[in-house]
Amino acid sequence: MAELQLRSAVVFRGGGLLALGQRTSFDWPLKTELPAFFSVSFHFSTASLVVDTCIKAVIKDLVRRAVVGAVLVVGDAVGVRLAGADRDHDGCDGADQIKSDPLMDLRPQMGDNIPPYLQPSMGVLITHVRRGSQSVRNYCASENADPAPVRHAEVLWVPPPPSLARSQILIPATMTVASAFASMKSGGIPGLFFLVGLFFTWACRSLRAQQLPGTWEVVLEDAGIASMHTAVTRFGTVVLLDRTGIGASRLRLPRGRCRIDPGDNFLPPGGKDCSAHSALFDPSSRRLRPLSVLTDTWCSSGQFLPNGTLLQSGGDLDGLRKLRAFSPCPLDGSCDWLELDSPLLADGRWYATNQILPDGSVVIVGGRAAPSVEFYPPSRPLRAFPFLATAEDSQMDNLYPFVHLLPDGRLFVFANARSILYDVDSGDVVHEYPELDGGPRNYPSGGSSTMLPLDPADGYARAEVVVCGGAQYGVFLHRQTDTPAATTCGRISATDPDGAWALEEMPFPRVMGDMVMLPTGEVLIINGAQAGSQGYEMGSNPCLNPVLYRPDQPAGLRFMTLTPTTIPRMYHSTANLLPDGRVLVAGSNPHYFYRFAGDFPTELRVEAFSPEYLAADKASLLPEIKAAPERVWYGDEFVMEVEVPLPLVGQMEVNLLSAPFATHSFSQGQRMVKLAVSPAVTVADGGGDGPPYRYRFGCKAPPDGRVAPPGYYMAFAVNQRVPSVARWVQLVL
């Protein structure tokens, strides 16, 4: 029998199961694979056995009798340990001490709410937790080391109950399956506890498996097109865009608005196409309006201009050098795609990346057989970009490069496994970063990337970039569709000249995933497959569980597994943040044509994923923006007013999020900028059955376009990690 060392915790919470980790397997008398909600927090091989209300009585009895460490979670997070427990069970040995600074002692908040069997007479020790933390930790520091290295055993976040009366019990224990049997044989309670917890975790999984964090909903049963490219407009509508050149879609254009494309061999003779290949969707009303796109947008790129117009560039065939513009409007308006006769792109742009610059112009980077950069408007000439040529290998891996505008105005450009700091004004490569281990990450190897939020606390001087997932080299070249995808994320401080990649393990291997910045500053990793690569019919084993990446948590404890979808989202799928905080998921067509049978059929349904901050038990924290400006200028101070159902605790956040152009696992132009916010002033007291509490506070706009390029942003007020519905704010030069 193979022994698996587990630092485990049985978790009882009234709401059901909690998914915090990755799939883990081990040998028992029966070959057993624990479900995805068997929680692994990765630090000290820490795991959490998640148990539902069906064993409440068992847990309560074991807590009363067992000599094991215990953690009581009350309110936001309070750590409690039985003084009589084996010190090894809480991560500290006898020579260690609890580290309290800079943590918050919540002892005064406990009062008389400690359960009788955890009263101080039993030697309860309350540890400390970080204010606003989503974790419960025991912090330990060796007394003999100088400086003392901090070690900690951590049990990840359990959503706080609305009152102290609904406390949660977490019982840590350290043992192997084999030692648990041995403990039981000698009459040991810990062994019984461990095995009972393991059994009930397995037995109860089908009862509450759906209660992992987050919920899914199909918001449109048939969009008529599979959205290869998606963007959210300032009206809250969503542009869905596929490609032409493969025959008709399932969405009809209005009478008289057919396109003629003699080059499309999959249309009837004469090339008449009366179907739409783009649409405008309103997630609120769930209505759809077809749009007319004439040239081929296959694997093209895009970016919003400062005035809110969506600039769309390149594609294939007759679209290779085309520029298109979409000036958005409400769903009932008449806005549509405009194909620009001039200018034409200086180079063919197929699989390129667009990024808005501090002055509001757009740089278009790379593309297949196009190692160059050009600009819109074309005020600067076409410029060779040798880095992309040198990053290419025998299966490309340099397409759709990851481009991020750093707060000093220079570009971080990542292709294959290499990255550079690029001065877009001079055309110079200023610095080359270390190579990222783990294989290629760009198309067709299908990793994803985002820049983490920019923060006024450091003067917007620091920018970190995360690159997650991908495929092994050769998977695309040799059609190795069953080869597992990459499991790692790399994270680097791009503004640090000595920046180096730090690797982290994801809960699942993932290729073709999308990384969506949430209003809380966390990153949702969603969509994709666990094997294969990008390309037609090149992926297998869909990755149905989204994962939440929490950049402010300690390394090794940043991932949380979320509720799975039932709809595979493979090649050519997208994910975009909506102003109401949901994430719209669309597309998935891993076939050259639309195919509605066989493995992973063309997907026309559109879903919305609601992160846990939208759960009903967060309603008492939900802020509502009542007053905010529509336009702000760089460096300006402005006022916002917000209402909340309960009195404000701590500082309200205001975060600006761009509306990116999502395609092929990368959201072009994605950005989050935190604003400096002054302390809130009470405008109106609420309470009881009366009106909510209303607060006024000052905000300061970003200092310049390097931090936040001009354009429209979703402004979210965030109260204790619960965001409001956004207001659209235009940042003006």
Q: Could you say which DSSP state residue 417 is in?
A: T
Burial class for 102, CB neighbours closer than 10 Å (0-12, 13-18, 19+): exposed
Tokens of 186: 């000698």
Residues 421, 375: contact at Cβ < 8 Å?
no
Residue with tokens 């029966």: 30
Tokens of 492: 């680097």
Residue with tokens 């450009």: 413
Residues 481, 700: contact at Cβ < 8 Å?
no
Residues 224, 290: contact at Cβ < 8 Å?
yes
Instruction: Please write down the long-range contacts of 58-62, taking CB distance under 8 Å and 24 or more positions apart.
Output: 58/196, 58/200, 59/10, 59/12, 59/169, 59/171, 60/117, 60/169, 62/171, 62/189, 62/192, 62/193, 62/196
The CATH number of the domain covering residues in 215-614:
2.130.10.80
For residues 516 and 214, what is the distance between their CA atoms, to the nearest angstrom?
15
Pairing relationship of beta strands 547-549 and 523-526 according to DSSP bridges: antiparallel
Residues 661, 671: contact at Cβ < 8 Å?
no
> What was the pLDDT predicted at 237?
98
What DSSP line would sit under 370-398, residue for residue?
--EEEEES--S--EE-HHHHHH-BTTB--
Tokens of 244: 């032409």
> What was the pLDDT predicted at 377?
97
> What was the pLDDT predicted at 686?
77
- Listed residue (136, 160, 137) closest to 15, CA to CA: 160
The alpha carbons of the chain give a radius of gyration, in whole angstroms, of 27
pLDDT tens track for 506-526: 999 999 999 999 999 999 999
> What was the pLDDT predicted at 23?
26
Helix (H) or strand (E) segment spanning residue 150: strand 150-156
b/e map of 534-559 (b: 16 or more CB within 10 Å)?
Answer: bbebbbbbbbbbbbbbbeebeeebbb
> What was the pLDDT predicted at 28?
24
Tokens of 414: 């990542």
> What was the pLDDT predicted at 257?
86
| CATH architecture designation of domain 616-732 | Sandwich (2.60)
Report which residue type is found at 690. Answer: G
For residues 81 and 125, what is the distance between their CA atoms, to the nearest angstrom?
5
- Rounded to 5 degrees, φ, ψ at 641 are -125, 135
> What was the pLDDT predicted at 689?
67
Residues 576, 667: contact at Cβ < 8 Å?
yes
Report which residue type is found at 256. Answer: G
- Rounded to 5 degrees, φ, ψ at 318 are -75, -5
pLDDT tens track for 178-228: 444 454 455 554 444 444 554 544 444 443 444 689 999 999 999 999 999
Tokens of 166: 């609904």
> What was the pLDDT predicted at 105?
35
Q: Tell me the Ramachandran region of residue 213: left when phi exceeds 0, alpha when psi lies from -120 to 50, beta otherwise.
A: beta
Low-confidence ranges of the chain (pLDDT < 50): 1-181, 183-184, 189-195, 198, 200-210
Helix (H) or strand (E) segment spanning residue 101: none
Domain ranges of the chain: 6-211, 215-614, 616-732
> What was the pLDDT predicted at 186?
53
Residues 588, 573: contact at Cβ < 8 Å?
yes
Reply yes or no: is the peptide bond before residue 102 cis, omega within 30 of 0: yes
